[in-house]
Structure 1
Amino acid sequence: MASQDKYRLPTNVKPRHYALTVWTDLKSQDFGGSVVVHLDILEETSTIVLNCSDDLDLGMAAILTGGQQWQSTQLVEKDAGRLTVQSPSALPAGSEVQLKIDFNAKLRGSMNGYYKSAWQRDGKTEFYALTHFQPIDARAAFPCWDEPALKASFTVTMISHLDTVNISNMPATSEDAYDATTSDFTGLSKDVQWKITKFQESPPMSTYLVAFANGPFEYKERLVEMPLSGRTVPLRVYATPDIVEQTQFCLDETAKVLPLYEAIFDIEYPLPKLDTLLASDFDMGAMENWGLITGRKSVYMVDPNKRDFSARRGAARVQAHETAHMWFGNITTMQWWDNLYLNEAFATFIGEDIMLTRTHPEWKVSTAFITSHFNQALNLDAKRSSHPIEVECPDANFLNQIFDSLSYSKGAAVLRMLANHVGEDKFLKGVSLYLKAHLYGNTVTRDLWDGISEATGQDIPRIMNNWVTEIGFPLITVTESPNGIHVRQDRFLDSGLPKEEENKTIWSVPLEILTVDKNGQVHIDKTALLTEREKSLPVDTSGTFKLNAGTMGTYRVLYTPDRLSKIAKEATKDNSALSLKDRIGLIYDIAALSTAGLTPLSSLFSLVDIWRNETNYMVWNSAWTNIMVVIHAFSAAVEIRDRLRAFGRSLFLPLVQRLGYDFPDGEDLETAQLRKTAINASAHGRDESVKQELLARFADYMKSGTYERIPADIRMITFTNAARYGGAEEFKALFKIIENPLNAAASDAAIHAVGATENLDHINEIVEYMKTKARDQDVVSFCFGMAENTVAHGHLSRFYKDNYDALSKRFATNSMHKYLVQACFDCGSTEHEYKDVEEFHKDKDVSRYSMALSQVLETIRTKIDYIERSREDLSRWLIGWEERSK
């Protein structure tokens, strides 16, 4: 019998090939076409069940068997994203049939399925169309078997207006005029000049990777020679004409990483080309469609005439990530979405760490990984409402919730830990073996462990299984004795010690013990693996030692106060045994431990105070990030908040006074980023001199209309400063930047920054703009900006609650609602706010954002307890610091 799973398709048939024809009318914003699916009948059946969205208006359906004529079939009513086709006669097992279905629909406006995106040409709004199918929206563009394991090849044909460009996964084989008067497609206007573009057949792939787009695109192109095959592969980056000149950096980064991946994986890139399309409206950051990457223009655009490290690093990270997917995810695909991390964690670790370390060593991305992924993941995983990396998700409607920092960042962190433990070369060899064993196939976690086990000779499942199948991560508590150290592992929770029933998991923990011998030589013991609850280890505690050397392990470490003080002082020495990664990891560990009540909050400030002479911008940025968290938490306690700001100014204002505000050409990256961090921290610390300088620079922009005196590195803080302290003219100028499509990075910065205004009329204007004018993708960014402003918190909450029905409908099919819940309520820190969120959602259908809601409620509860527990300790430390500073 065929499988009968209410969430999964029956297994009695399997698609082998799709011949898909799609016509697009950008003027009417309609599309339609037909799909012919070549099917293998695995079990005798008279019904065929596939996926189909209610968006599609279905026309004729027919089955062709054994070379006979098409036989009309009965379409049974669509239900829960499925379509049942009734065959006129039984289809025998082992036979091959073709199923043909016609369809028509409107282009969506929801950033998924086949949807429209707006852009400005000569002051007029025009539209183009593109696809975003991950995870389950191919069914919104054409009837299909929309599950990752049901791979098939695709031959795509596109019919469009004569003056537009068609692109898809594969290269075009032909393009000709098309006579609509002889067409059978209903809805295709006879009064328009059409053309037809045919594309090469693709390799077998999952439906979520199918892609096509139609619009007035232009492109930049270059060729790369691939190291294994010696083939020359054309690379293109497509965009609308107004921004195409800002795509060169993306193109050049693609040319760097694609050949390197082929060499690292020892597997040829299988497609004849790789394109990237920059979109004005996009749900996520970018998407790895095979041969046609798509992504937000603000992520990818880089002005070739301006120095903008953040824009370059951001574009490079995203493109390296998406290009890694051409192997991870596209050639070899997870069996089902519960193994999403096999795609996303790999692309995050290999793309954003291993690859960019090779292409941009000066960026120190492996160190930045601690702030961009490691800490973000552990902060979320420290909650009871977290989930395992490998999370059960039978219902496809639940899928958007697991595209989070656990699937991406925690998954990447545990892979990074494994690579460090076994050695990066052996790890990559195992990855290559894994890919080769499953080319064009689908995999589960065990397949990956098998490949790495073969390459290393180690029992990888024993080491790794609990890291991906169990919720949470360990806290390693270190105590000392005359004979060495005693270590114990327990689950770490940011709300405090776990209950007994929450503390069952025993992880295999690479302890990575750093020691310094009597000659000053640093040693790291990579063999120490904690596989039990606790054990004693021989370590010379008379000298320097530290666990989790390089912050490579996915865990926190708790030392005695005396040992922590010794480690902190060691870090201040010239030629310290502690690396940059160690120092950054220590800051985040102490901040997390203080949140959980396992160490006083004052420990964080004592550490930062000891490190006043630190020169590395990443350490300072990590310190300020954590200080800002405390400032936001204590924003209602005015005396503590003001003292925290004064402490921040004492750290960073001397750096501003030394480094100034300008970023000269040729300056080293370290100095530039240290200046950026110092200005940002001093401005948020409400320093008057920095405030006035930034206001003056924004005033120059309003007079000249150019960003000459607002370097890209301090664009965000300059805009934020203007919103907070400026009047009506500054507010109007910021909205002019928001609506200027020529500079997406500046527009994004202004969207976030404008929420800093403390003018209630301006806050109300932002709320109205979000309701009536803002792009869907920008609503959440507006909200996150307002969330950093305590004056706006009440307005933010009311916006969500007053417009809940409209927002639920607006974001019904994409991933935005979960982020909206976080943006509007994560800032809460009182019992009243907790009860308000809980009560409002009691009678709501929260199935599409249930995890985000649980995490928000837990965040507020943890914050309430943290503030109450830490208030006296923090106040006492700040008063003491104030006295010492006089």
Structure 2
Amino acid sequence: MAKGTGMSKALAVGVGVLTVSSVCGLVMMAVMYKIQIDKFPPVSPPTPTKPPVIPTGLPPTLRLPDNLIPESYKVLIQPYLYAVIPNNYTNQSFAFTGESTVRVKCMIVSKSIFLHAQDLNVTTVEVRKSDSDEKLPVSGYKIHHNETNFLEIQLKDAMSGNETYYDIITKFEGELFDCLDGFYVSGYTEKVKAEEEEEEDEDQERLFATSLLQPTNARKVFPCFDEPALKAVFQITIIHRPHTVALSNGIGEAHQTEIDGEEWIMTTFKETPIMSTYSLAFTVSDFKSKTRHSGTKINIHARGDAIYAGHADYALEVTEKILIRYQDIFGLKYPLTKIDQIALPDISVGAMENWGFISYQESGLLYDKYTASTFDQERVATLIARELAHQWFGNLVTMHWWNDLWLNEGFATYMSYIGVQADGWDLRDLIVLRETQTAFQVDSLNSSHPLSLQENDIQTFSEITELFDDITYSKGAAVLRMLATFMTEDAFMKGIKMYLAKFEYTNTVYKDLLKCLQEETKEDVEGFMSTWIEQVGYPVITIITQTGETSQEHFLLKQTQGHDIAWQVHIRYIKDRDLTEKNDMLKVKGPVRRPHFQLQDKDEWVLANVNCAGFFRVNYDEENWNKLRMQLERNHHVIPIINRGQLIDDAFNIARAHRLNVTIALSLTKYLVNDTEYIPWESALKNLDHLILMFDRSEVYGPITKYLRNLITGLYDHFEEYTINGTVPEKHTDQYNQVNAISVACSNGLTKCITMARSLFKDYKNGTNDIHPNLRKAIYCSAIASGDEYDWEFAWIEYQRATVAAEKDKLRYALSCTKEIWLLNRYLQYTLDPSKIRKMDMFSTINYIAKNVAGQPLAWDFVREHWSYITQEYGAGVVSLGSLLDAVTKRFSTDVEREELKQLQREQEEKNQGLAARALEQVIERTEANIKWVKENKQIVKDWFIGEL
């Protein structure tokens, strides 16, 4: 057995003591450590720094990335164009060269630079650090020739972020095309005095270069950040030929210089305020000018002939008055020291509001008191008022993105009715005819769009240009009028003053506007306005007067399910027992019972939407419609003038939407034999004209013509003495109705009207009597419609000889009135030749021809045949393609016509062309609605008109 081991008692005690001591020490150390940790918490070791992720590749959308913010541009442009080719030089050049330096603030580290450039040859690119002029090596650059129009610049070394400033320097070359956008060229003729007295003055061809940069055409002139929110300061320098004048947004200072042995003029313009690229403008021409000093220097520029003839005088006078009025009601002084306005022989829009340098068609700015009508004068005043309003709404305060374009265009349209009051024009009631009723037509289609869309829904050039339509301009103005009535005009204008003052030189979204307006009223502005702005369409309010039940529903010509959102509807109404105006607010779809709409007396009626202040239609039970009709026939003066027009317009359109028997609408027109006011007559004629468009190729047209001839005879007789004497009534709206009387009476075969027109035109041809300018358009048209080819040829020669744009426009319209097919066909071919019909007048001329029943199929075939040419030459136009499609298809009401439209739509889609896509969808929808309505109502309409003969 093995030997055992053991431990003494003393040793065991010692080990125990040591163990206890160790444990106590460990506990003490733990306690001390905890105390120290609480007192001095540990710091985590630094996380290893990752290198910054530098963006590469194209941005994910068509919008510019937000890594760079432009602050200022210095742009030099040198067009090589001669306004008049000198005798010793025959090589005309349509090229321009330039150099741009844009200073940007870099927000994040990046090796990529994106800005816009289109149709340019960029020859040099440099990037330098602004504070040190240090050059950053460029590894490459290219222009993306797609919808982005991006000029992409790649750097070898990254730009620092942290708001570091850099200068992007580009040199470029471009060409002056005649496409009426970007920087383009056009021409005109001017009389040159003969050297010898016995010789006749000669017509001399002259050229000019000018710009139209809205919405996205600045990129066609120089590389830039071409988005409205990317505002910057611009300093422009233009080098141009001797004997020409350069104009731009700022005040220019010119001096002679020599370049490569040639004499040039260098004009340097003062810096602009901070502004969007689309508001920039420049022109090189040998135009003359007239000036007026009134705190702000006002200049009118035009062809020398027009200036010397005094055609700019009225524009100078009215500009001063309207400018003073706007400064007063907006509470902000016009921010520039000068305002130039130029009358251009060729521009594809009526006018363009470039800041401090507004461009117009000649007929929109020039007024010849000897040959122009009062309507021409009114157009000049109204257009100037609209473009001056843009100096605040659009230039000073700009929408953030094109989805809120109505903040520019709707406001300018609405304010123009207020602005012209400075010159004595009282046109505010006409806003119902020109804006409300116009917008109603487009907004009753499923293919309409809201006033304000989501930013992401508006990306491409086509999507942007399609917003320049009746919704943006006319509905925008009508909804603002409704809001001003809801708030009171005083509160509305106070809110507008706050909006302009708060956001001057910046960009806004529509909710910024509503917040400012909310400050001036106890009403819930945002709640009231949100559905009117964000929701497509408008409601029809239905009132059942036996029960007082009131409801609202999305109004559509082609009924679909619509939407479930209820508008907030502010209803102003009157009753015939109490003509005091009252108010009601409908916030639900209904039906809800409103006792105040319930009628107790069998003869009592209710009329809602007084003065058509609200952007909605009103339908009633048939009994109330008949009571309103009887009131009109008994004493129409009881019902306000605007509502007399509104009742007719609502009834006809509600009938088109299959919600009312069309005979009720037709019966409302009968009372007009006793009314001479313009608004109800114009409302009726527009709606009866729709019936003519639907039926003037069928047997229904005969009874319609006879009814119209009987209806118009009283109005024609009312103005006959004026017409025969070659005079016009004093009241402006009576002057409009005098023209209506002549146009409708002559076109519907009233013998004495046609005889009168033929007689006046004969005297005009013989030079023995002049026609009053107000009546010329109607007389010319009637005489040519009832005349022969010699009358047409005479008018064509007169058109070619005319030097005043407004007179040329009257003759150009009248030439479309002939019933001769071969003349209309030839006239259509003339639109392809700019030496006969100016490019800017092509579409309106086709539209005039399409209005003629003999010309409509010719115009449609012409448009289809030349669609590729039209879209190539005019596809960049802001509104032209849509207006063209609208005009040439107004009569469409058959299955064959619908299929032709759908075939054009398929061809567009196959070519991946988005141009006028929404307009095409709208005319297809309208055609489908017409087809259905005609099938259901043709016999009913025919029977009613026969019964009234």
2:845 is aligned to: 782
Q: Which runs of 5 or more structure 1 residues have no equivalent in the other structure? A: 182-189, 225-231
Q: What do residues 501-522 of structure 1 show as CA deviations (whole Å, max 9, x unaligned)?
A: x2312100011122355xxx52
Task: Tell me the amino acid that sits aligned with residue 807 of structure 2.
Answer: A
Q: What do residues 373-408 of structure 1 show as CA deviations (whole Å, max 9, x unaligned)?
A: 100100110011111111331223421111000011
- The more displaced of 141-150 and 786-795 is 786-795
Partners of 2:701 and 2:636 lie apart in 1 by 36
Task: Tell me the amino acid that sits aligned with residue 563 of structure 2.
Answer: N
1:90 is aligned to: 158
Partners of 1:367 and 1:157 lie apart in 2 by 45
2:673 pairs, out of 601, 608, 612, with 612
2:128 is aligned to: 64
**Contact 1:752 / 1:784 at 8 angstroms: preserved in 2?**
no
Q: What secondary structure sits across from 1:842 in the alignment? A: helix
**Contact 1:608 / 1:623 at 8 angstroms: preserved in 2?**
yes
Partners of 2:496 and 2:831 lie apart in 1 by 45
Partners of 2:801 and 2:883 lie apart in 1 by 25
**Contact 1:584 / 1:619 at 8 angstroms: preserved in 2?**
yes
Partners of 1:670 and 1:314 lie apart in 2 by 14
Task: Tell me the amino acid that sits aligned with residue 134 of structure 1.
Answer: Q
1:581–1:671: structure 2 CA closer, same or farther, 3 Å change rule?
closer
Question: What does residue range 216-231 of structure 1 map to in structure 2 within 5 Å?
Answer: 216-224=286-294
1:412 is aligned to: 477
Aligned residues: 850
1:268–1:573: structure 2 CA closer, same or farther, 3 Å change rule?
farther
**Contact 1:492 / 1:498 at 8 angstroms: preserved in 2?**
no
1:116–1:626: structure 2 CA closer, same or farther, 3 Å change rule?
same
- The more displaced of 804-813 and 258-267 is 804-813
Question: What does residue range 697-846 of structure 1 map to in structure 2 within 5 Å?
Answer: 697-704=760-767, 708-740=769-801, 742-773=803-834, 774-815=837-878, 816-844=880-908, 845-846=912-913
2:406 is aligned to: 341
Partners of 1:585 and 1:437 lie apart in 2 by 38
Question: What does residue range 120-199 of structure 1 map to in structure 2 within 5 Å?
Answer: 120-122=189-191, 123-172=203-252, 174-181=253-260, 190-191=261-262, 193-199=263-269
Q: What secondary structure sits across from 2:545 in the alignment? A: strand
Partners of 2:504 and 2:730 lie apart in 1 by 46
2:279 is aligned to: 209
Question: What does residue range 371-450 of structure 1 map to in structure 2 within 5 Å?
Answer: 371-391=433-453, 392-450=457-515
**Contact 1:20 / 1:154 at 8 angstroms: preserved in 2?**
yes
Partners of 1:367 and 1:388 lie apart in 2 by 25
Partners of 1:321 and 1:619 lie apart in 2 by 26
Partners of 1:447 and 1:472 lie apart in 2 by 23
Q: CA deviation at 1:163?
A: 0.5
Task: Tell me the amino acid that sits aligned with residue 373 of structure 1.
Answer: E
Partners of 1:218 and 1:635 lie apart in 2 by 49
**Contact 2:673 / 2:715 at 8 angstroms: preserved in 1?**
no
Q: What secondary structure sits across from 2:179 in the alignment? A: coil
Q: What do residues 621-644 of structure 1 show as CA deviations (whole Å, max 9, x unaligned)?
A: 222222222112111223x21221
1:866–1:511: structure 2 CA closer, same or farther, 3 Å change rule?
same
Task: Tell me the amino acid that sits aligned with residue 706 of structure 2.
Answer: A
Question: What does residue range 600-749 of structure 1 map to in structure 2 within 5 Å?
Answer: 600-638=661-699, 640-660=700-720, 661=723, 662-664=725-727, 667-704=730-767, 708-740=769-801, 742-749=803-810
Q: What secondary structure sits across from 1:612 in the alignment? A: helix
**Contact 1:787 / 1:827 at 8 angstroms: preserved in 2?**
no
Task: Tell me the amino acid that sits aligned with residue 944 of structure 2.
Answer: W
Q: What do residues 525-556 of structure 1 show as CA deviations (whole Å, max 9, x unaligned)?
A: 23534344332212162334211011010011
**Contact 1:508 / 1:530 at 8 angstroms: preserved in 2?**
yes
Partners of 2:618 and 2:729 lie apart in 1 by 40
Instruction: State whether structure 2 residue 557 is matched by structure 1 residue 494.
Output: yes
What is the RMSD of the two structures over their aligned residues, measured on CA atoms? 2.0
Partners of 2:717 and 2:631 lie apart in 1 by 28
**Contact 1:18 / 1:154 at 8 angstroms: preserved in 2?**
yes
**Contact 2:573 / 2:607 at 8 angstroms: preserved in 1?**
yes
Q: What do residues 717-747 of structure 1 show as CA deviations (whole Å, max 9, x unaligned)?
A: 2222233222222221222233345121122
**Contact 2:348 / 2:840 at 8 angstroms: preserved in 1?**
yes
TM-score under structure 2 length normalisation? 0.87
1:600–1:124: structure 2 CA closer, same or farther, 3 Å change rule?
farther
Q: CA deviation at 1:30?
A: 2.1
2:44 is aligned to: none
Q: CA deviation at 1:668?
A: 3.6
What is the aligned-residue identity percentage?
A: 26
Task: Tell me the amino acid that sits aligned with residue 822 of structure 1.
Answer: D
Q: What secondary structure sits across from 2:336 in the alignment? A: coil
Instruction: State whether structure 2 residue 112 is matched by structure 1 residue 47.
Output: yes
Instruction: State whether structure 2 residue 433 is matched by structure 1 residue 366.
Output: no
Q: Which runs of 5 or more structure 2 residues have no equivalent in the other structure? A: 1-53, 83-92, 192-202
Q: CA deviation at 1:331?
A: 0.7
Task: Tell me the amino acid that sits aligned with residue 61 of structure 1.
Answer: V
Partners of 1:33 and 1:843 lie apart in 2 by 39
2:366 is aligned to: 301
Q: CA deviation at 1:102?
A: 1.1
Q: What secondary structure sits across from 2:855 in the alignment? A: helix
Partners of 1:858 and 1:393 lie apart in 2 by 22
**Contact 1:61 / 1:72 at 8 angstroms: preserved in 2?**
no
Instruction: State whether structure 2 residue 661 is matched by structure 1 residue 596.
Output: no
1:791–1:664: structure 2 CA closer, same or farther, 3 Å change rule?
closer
Q: CA deviation at 1:261?
A: 1.1
1:509 pairs, out of 555, 564, 569, with 569
TM-score under structure 1 length normalisation? 0.93
1:103 is aligned to: 172
Partners of 2:813 and 2:370 lie apart in 1 by 24
1:288 is aligned to: 353
1:228 is aligned to: none
Q: CA deviation at 1:69?
A: 5.5
1:601–1:574: structure 2 CA closer, same or farther, 3 Å change rule?
closer
Question: What does residue range 427-576 of structure 1 map to in structure 2 within 5 Å?
Answer: 427-481=492-546, 485-495=548-558, 497-499=559-561, 502-517=562-577, 522-539=579-596, 541=599, 542=601, 543-572=604-633, 576=637
**Contact 2:247 / 2:283 at 8 angstroms: preserved in 1?**
yes
Partners of 1:793 and 1:177 lie apart in 2 by 55
Task: Tell me the amino acid that sits aligned with residue 294 of structure 1.
Answer: S
Partners of 1:571 and 1:273 lie apart in 2 by 52
- The more displaced of 839-848 and 371-380 is 839-848
Partners of 2:682 and 2:621 lie apart in 1 by 26
Q: What do residues 133-168 of structure 1 show as CA deviations (whole Å, max 9, x unaligned)?
A: 110000001110000000000111111112111111
Task: Tell me the amino acid that sits aligned with residue 167 of structure 2.
Answer: Q
2:927 is aligned to: 860
2:914 is aligned to: 847
Q: What do residues 672-705 of structure 1 show as CA deviations (whole Å, max 9, x unaligned)?
A: 333222111101212232223212222333332x
**Contact 2:646 / 2:680 at 8 angstroms: preserved in 1?**
no
**Contact 2:371 / 2:807 at 8 angstroms: preserved in 1?**
no
Partners of 1:434 and 1:533 lie apart in 2 by 35
1:328 is aligned to: 393
**Contact 1:479 / 1:486 at 8 angstroms: preserved in 2?**
yes
**Contact 1:659 / 1:675 at 8 angstroms: preserved in 2?**
yes
Partners of 1:760 and 1:870 lie apart in 2 by 30
**Contact 2:850 / 2:858 at 8 angstroms: preserved in 1?**
no
Partners of 2:887 and 2:737 lie apart in 1 by 28
2:3 is aligned to: none
1:4 is aligned to: 59
1:187 is aligned to: none
- The more displaced of 806-815 and 502-511 is 806-815
Q: CA deviation at 1:359?
A: 4.0
- The more displaced of 453-462 and 566-575 is 566-575
Instruction: Specify the structure having the higher radius of gyration (Cα).
Output: 2
